[in-house]
């Protein structure tokens, strides 16, 4: 499972790097497409790793991530819902706030996921040391 997590982490890191490198040309759809793919990938990763986060004592970090995602998705949904009612310029501000927040949420998840992988690797290494002394 450790190898799968590392592949998942480095895949997210590569996709996130490409996404961040496309920021200077935000008008292009590459940024938004990669942000969508990256977000879906991270949500799937977080779903599969939430139990591990909780069991390793990192429940505060993963629940913060889920809270941030819920608030960000709520902003997107409110912007979409009120898009026909209010001025398009006002709704665009909400969309840019949500997009900006999504980038920071993605970076936050990569950071806490890296910390989880390092913790699991260290724990496995320490378990190996203690078993070899018996």
Domain spans of the chain, in order of start? 2-132
Q: How far apart are the first and last CA of the chain?
A: 26
Q: Which residues contact 35 (CB under 8 A, 6 or more apart)?
A: 19, 99, 102, 103, 106
* Residue 20: Cβ within 10 Å count: 16
The 10s digit of each residue's pLDDT in 14-39 is 887 877 776 666 555 556 676 777 78
Q: What is the pLDDT of residue 24?
A: 65
Here the tokens at position 125 are 């290494």
Q: What is the pLDDT of residue 55?
A: 93
The pTM assigned to this predicted structure is: 0.82
Q: What is the pLDDT of residue 134?
A: 54
Low-confidence ranges of the chain (pLDDT < 50): none
């Amino acid at each position: 499972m450790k190898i799968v997590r590392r592949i998942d982490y480095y895949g997210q890191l590569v996709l996130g790097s490409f996404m961040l490198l496309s920021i200077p040309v935000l008008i292009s759809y590459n940024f938004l497409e990669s942000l969508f793919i990256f977000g879906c990938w991270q949500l799937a990763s977080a779903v599969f790793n939430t139990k591990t986060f909780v069991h390793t004592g990192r429940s505060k970090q993963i629940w913060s991530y889920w809270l941030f995602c819920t608030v960000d998705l709520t902003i997107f949904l409110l912007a979409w819902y009120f898009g026909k009612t209010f001025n398009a310029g006002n709704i665009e501000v909400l969309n840019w706030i949500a997009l900006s927040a999504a980038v920071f949420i993605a970076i936050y998840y990569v950071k806490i996921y890296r910390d989880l992988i390092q913790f699991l690797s260290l724990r496995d290494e320490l378990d190996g040391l203690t078993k070899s002394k018996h």
